[in-house]
Amino acid sequence: NAGVTQTPKFQVLKTGQSMTLQCAQDMNHNSMYWYRQDPGMGLRLIYYSASEGTTDKGEVPNGYNVSRLNKREFSLRLESAAPSQTSVYFCASSDWGGSTDTQYFGPGTRLTVL
Amino acid sequence: GQSLEQPSEVTAVEGAIVQINCTYQTSGFYGLSWYQQHDGGAPTFLSYNALDGLEETGRFSSFLSRSDSYGYLLLQELQMKDSASYFCAVKASGGSYIPTFGRGTSLIVHP
């Protein structure tokens, strides 16, 4: 049982390049999330998927797109990377509507945009 | 919108007790969670309060007062390994039931 996995762990991009961050969970959770974490800013929600087949914008969606490929996988795409997107990206999953709605986080992707 | 306030940093000595406060503003409050994050690591769930009162899990306890829009995380018998960032997160209908995180409190435990 791996929990939530993310690839890659580290990435360096040049401004204007594109990339996709991959996330998968093996806990049969309905809901998945993408957050970014910047120093002193806590975790800010980019997009989420409450259930397979649905996606919704979070607090900071500009410059990103997502795909809920199936129940296990939720990817985040940067179409044209900008230095402002330098951050640590965390994927999370949860059992929507559960008694505590605990979120389980992946190890993160550390992205630098030059 | 939703907002949370928590201190940016708290320091304490090994063996002591420390309390990390969190105040929130939201509509349709549902619950308050606490997460721990070590440097370079991922956030991990610590506790959840939906009702007023104290929830205890080993050395960690979490308290909620819905009428005061306030909660705290209490860490007892502090150990060096407790040095980490601690985040409160509020779940509410005003936020589509998606947890909104505070900016985090950095806890530094000194020997």
Q: How far is A42 from chain B (nearest CA, A)?
A: 4
Chain B residues with CB-CB distance to A58 below 8 A = 98
Mutation to test the B interface, candidates A99, A103, A109, most B Cβ within 10 Å: A103
Nearest to B43 among A56, A101, A105 (CB): A105
pLDDT band at A41 (very low <50, low <70, confident <90, very high): confident
Residues comprising chain A, all counted: 114
Q: Cβ–Cβ of A42/B97 closer than 8 Å?
A: no
Tokens of B69: 């829009």
A48 interfacial to chain B (CB closer than 8 Å): yes
Residue A23: half-sphere exposure toward Cβ, Cα within 13 Å: 31
Q: Residue B102 in contact with residue B83, Cβ under 8 Å? A: no
The answer to whether the CB atoms of B33 and A102 lie below 8 A apart is yes
Check pLDDT > 90 for residue B75: yes
* Residue A70 CB burial class (10 angstroms; 0-12, 13-18, ≥19): exposed
Check whether B67 has a pLDDT greater than 80: yes
pLDDT (0 to 100) of residue A6: 98
Q: Give the pLDDT confidence of A53-83 residue by residue, as tens digits.
A: 999 999 999 999 999 989 999 999 999 999 9
pLDDT at position A106: 98
Measured CA to CA, the distance from residue B102 to residue B7 in angstroms comes to 10
How far does the CA of residue B100 sit from the closest CA of chain A (Å)? 8
Residue B21 confidence class, pLDDT cut points 50, 70, 90: very high
- Residue B83 exposed, middle or buried by CB count within 10 Å (0-12, 13-18, 19+): middle
Q: Using CA coordinates, name the residue in chain A closest to B38.
A: A107
Mean of pLDDT over chain B? 94
Q: Which two tokens stand for residue A14?
A: 């040049």
Across the interface, whether the CB atoms of A104 and B45 are under 8 A apart is answered yes
Q: Is the Cβ of A40 closer than 8 Å to some Cβ of chain B?
A: yes
For residue B99, pLDDT over 90 is answered with no
pLDDT of A97 higher than 70: no
Q: What is the pLDDT of residue A98?
A: 60
Chain B partners of A108 at a C-beta cutoff of 8 Å? 42
Which of A48, A102, A105 shows the shortest C-beta gap to B98? Answer: A48
Q: Do residues A7 and A16 lie in contact, with contact meaning Cβ atoms separated by under 8 Å?
A: no
* DSSP 3-state of A95: coil
How confident is the model over B45-51, as a mean pLDDT? 93
A101 CB within 8 Å of a chain B CB: yes
Q: What is the pLDDT of residue A19?
A: 97
Q: What are the residues whose beta carbons fall under 8 Å from the beta carbon of B110, sequence distance 6 or more?
A: B11, B12, B13, B14
For residue B2, what pLDDT is reported?
Answer: 82
Average confidence score pLDDT of chain A: 93
The pLDDT-based confidence of A22 (bands split at 50, 70, 90) is very high
Q: So what's the pLDDT on residue A37?
A: 97
Q: Which of B98, B100, B103 to mutate to test the interface with A (most CBs of A within 10 A)?
A: B98
